[in-house]
Amino acid sequence: MNALNILDYSFIFGYLLLTLFIGLWFSKRASENVGEFFLSGRKLPWWIAGTGMVATTFAADTPLAVTGFVAKHGIAGNWVWWTFVSGGMLTVFFFARLWRRAEILTDLEFIELRYSGKAARFLRGFKAIYFGLFINAVIIGWVNLAMFKIISIMMPELNPQLTIIALVLLTTFYSGLSGLWGVSITDAVQFVIAIVGCVILAVLAVQSPAVVDAGGLQAALPPWMFDFFPAINSTGQNGAGAFALPFASFAAMAFVQWWASWYPGSEPGGGGYIAQRMMSAKDEKHSLLATLWFTVAHYCLRPWPWIIVALASLVMFPDLPVGQKEDGFVYVMRDVLPPGLKGLLIAAFLAAYMSTLSTHLNWGTSYLINDFYKRFIKTDGDARHYVRVSKLTTALTAAFALYITFFVLSTITGAWEFLIQCGAGTGFVLILRWFWWRLNAWSEITSMVAPFLAYGYLSLFTDIVFPSSIFIIVAFTIASTLAVTFLTKPSDRAHLEAFYRTTRVGGILWQPVAKNLPEVEGDTGFFRLFLDWALGIIMVYSILFGTGRILFGDPLQGSLFILAGALAGILIFMDLNRRGWSNLN
């Protein structure tokens, strides 16, 4: 019943051959220099750069993690990542053009552009190893873990460990061969395959006998599971022991987490592979549009197929243990897909998986080479030397990530929550380092260390857990950061002036520096940017909830939501056109 046939394997191998072909096609261009290898020569159009962002965040782990959130807290459980809309729109209107304007290869290079002294050098080197190798390996590890579960359930005839190793080797080969050009083009193809596959799965899931016999999803599950927002006093419980999302937890995520917590793909102020794609865009206009397209697609196009399948899994497999609820997504794939479509959906998840893996390998390697090896070990190598070392480092990073996958990680949602808490409060510096001259490298170092100290204390000596822990960790981190900031010296004045000339960031908090640079025209119009930011948030949430209302049988309210979102989008583009795309300040 569940065995794959020739048609299934045709889809799978056809997809794998396509990705290999793209890698070979772009291999010559990527070998020219590290600028081509890591930033595609800064020539990506907005739709490729933006689609690459959303394809990377559409990993094999994400639908499974969403299934875990829905099983635990209903649809409202998705606020653990929906709250990042506000931070994403902040990146669109305040930071996208600044990242492109900085003309740097990685976001870690920004550290020595912004700060001066030994602390800045230490911070850049430390973050290159910490994020490029260790955190990157954890992220790749949980993506591998998700694919491991999919293979174990969908393709039991295969050895899942050997299959994961083979997929990592293939992805390492084409990403190391083609650089960001190949990664970006395959991302665009992979995103289309993945989203189409998940829509097909959602349609088949709601038509499954178990769901139909129960009278549909809304008849089979408790009403609170379909609430988009948590009740102030949430006490609802289903048979598996899952509770509606408490309002205090929602408040922590909605009002604090989006700007305060570092999380890959949702860094406050942009960063990581999101910054990499912004810096690879043709110009500031394409950088802004790429990030806007990413934010809309990330929150409006992707979630509902996953949520519908997650709800269906609770109806079809109500007896799954709590710790295995996230696996319900894969069990739905196994049981509802006919021959042929099984292969298509597996190819879709391979696309999502390999897109994320290839981007993280390229991004992590860019840190290790540009911000550690080239900066501190071999500073005088030629272009081809650094490209060769980049390819070797890509392979070593992949090998380390495999170790993390098989010997360290156990659950996906647990890894998400750990990262969010250990980055809580860091966003305060990641945002303000652009707009406040007084912050220095010690400020950023403190903002990285303090969350670990607070998280460790709460874990060992209290019963406070995520997301309520966010309030305490953020407060401690910000207080520690401000104390260190004022107890240490600012960056050198000449260094700050050079940064201001390069970025023209503007704003009242740069006045002590800007007053000495009357020839530099800094950015203005921040009030209009805040209006665009607010309209962007309205646009995304309106389209998101409008789509959900329509899917769950309320077309009138859903249409009104979508109309409001469309109006907000029109107002944004009217404002940007009025100011002119070459003058977005």
Which CATH number covers residue 175? 1.20.1730.10
Nearest to 355 by CA among 65, 60, 152, 135: 60
- Please indicate, yes or no, if residue 327 is contained in any of the structural domains: yes
In this predicted structure, what is the pLDDT of residue 239?
A: 40
Structure tokens at 404: 């993390």
Angle between helices 160-206 and 46-57 (to 10 degrees): 100
In this predicted structure, what is the pLDDT of residue 237?
A: 45
- Whether the link from the prior residue into 467 is cis, omega within 30° of 0, is yes
- Please indicate, yes or no, if residue 42 is contained in any of the structural domains: yes
| pLDDT for 316 beyond 90 | yes
CA distance linking residue 317 with residue 325, whole number of Å: 9
3 state DSSP class of 44: strand
Residues 429 and 163: beta-carbon distance below 8 Å: no
> What does the DSSP assignment read for 296-355?
HIIIIISHHHHHHHHHHHHHH-TTS-GGGGGGHHHHHHHHHPPTTHHHHHHHHHHHHHHH
Q: The pTM is what? A: 0.83
The better pLDDT of the pair 359, 371 is held by: 371
Nearest to 467 by CA among 126, 84, 98: 84
237 forms beta bridges with 243
* Cα first-last separation, the chain: 60
Average pLDDT over residues 165-184: 73
- Tell me which amino acid residue 339 is: P
Residue 259: band (very low, low, confident or very high) from pLDDT cuts 50, 70, 90: confident
Phi, psi of 298 (to 5 degrees): -60, -45
- Please indicate, yes or no, if residue 187 is contained in any of the structural domains: yes
Domain hosting 390: range is 6-236+274-408
Residues 51 and 187: beta-carbon distance below 8 Å: yes
Which residues make Cβ contacts (< 8 Å) with residue 574, sequence separation at least 6?
Answer: none
- Please indicate, yes or no, if residue 468 is contained in any of the structural domains: no
The better pLDDT of the pair 144, 251 is held by: 144
Range name among 28-32, 475-479, 486-490, 573-577 with the lowest pLDDT average: 28-32
In this predicted structure, what is the pLDDT of residue 578?
A: 83
User: pLDDT digits over 194-225, tens only?
Assistant: 888 889 999 999 999 999 999 999 999 998 88
Phi, psi of 129 (to 5 degrees): -75, -45
- Please indicate, yes or no, if residue 432 is contained in any of the structural domains: no
Which residues make Cβ contacts (< 8 Å) with residue 582, sequence separation at least 6?
Answer: 284, 285
Angle between helices 61-73 and 328-336 (to 10 degrees): 110
Cα angle value 217/348/396 (rounded, 5°): 125
Alpha helices by DSSP H, 130-159:
136-154
| pLDDT for 444 beyond 80 | yes
Report the number of distinct structural domains present in the chain.
1
| pLDDT for 401 beyond 80 | yes
Residues 500 and 510: beta-carbon distance below 8 Å: yes
CB count within 10 Å of CB 495 equals: 17
In this predicted structure, what is the pLDDT of residue 321?
A: 85
Cα angle value 272/405/449 (rounded, 5°): 45
| pLDDT for 337 beyond 90 | no
Average pLDDT over residues 21-30: 64
- Tell me which amino acid residue 54 is: V
Phi, psi of 44 (to 5 degrees): -75, 130
| pLDDT for 233 beyond 60 | no
> What does the DSSP assignment read for 170-204?
HHHHHHHHHHHHHHHHHHHHHHHHHHHHHHHHHHH
- Please indicate, yes or no, if residue 450 is contained in any of the structural domains: no
Which residues make Cβ contacts (< 8 Å) with residue 580, sequence separation at least 6?
Answer: none
In this predicted structure, what is the pLDDT of residue 342?
A: 85
- For CA atoms 537, 542, 545, 547, give the dihedral sign: negative
Burial 549-568, CB ≥16 within 10 A → b, else e: bbbbeeeeebeebbebbeeb
Residue 177: band (very low, low, confident or very high) from pLDDT cuts 50, 70, 90: low
- Please indicate, yes or no, if residue 499 is contained in any of the structural domains: no
Average pLDDT score over the chain: 83
CA distance linking residue 105 with residue 99, whole number of Å: 10
Average pLDDT over residues 296-311: 92
Residues 64 and 146: beta-carbon distance below 8 Å: yes
- Please indicate, yes or no, if residue 31 is contained in any of the structural domains: yes
Residue 231: band (very low, low, confident or very high) from pLDDT cuts 50, 70, 90: low
Nearest to 296 by CA among 85, 136, 147, 90: 85
CA distance linking residue 412 with residue 145, whole number of Å: 8
Residue 235: band (very low, low, confident or very high) from pLDDT cuts 50, 70, 90: very low
| pLDDT for 322 beyond 50 | yes
Nearest to 59 by CA among 120, 139, 128, 1: 139
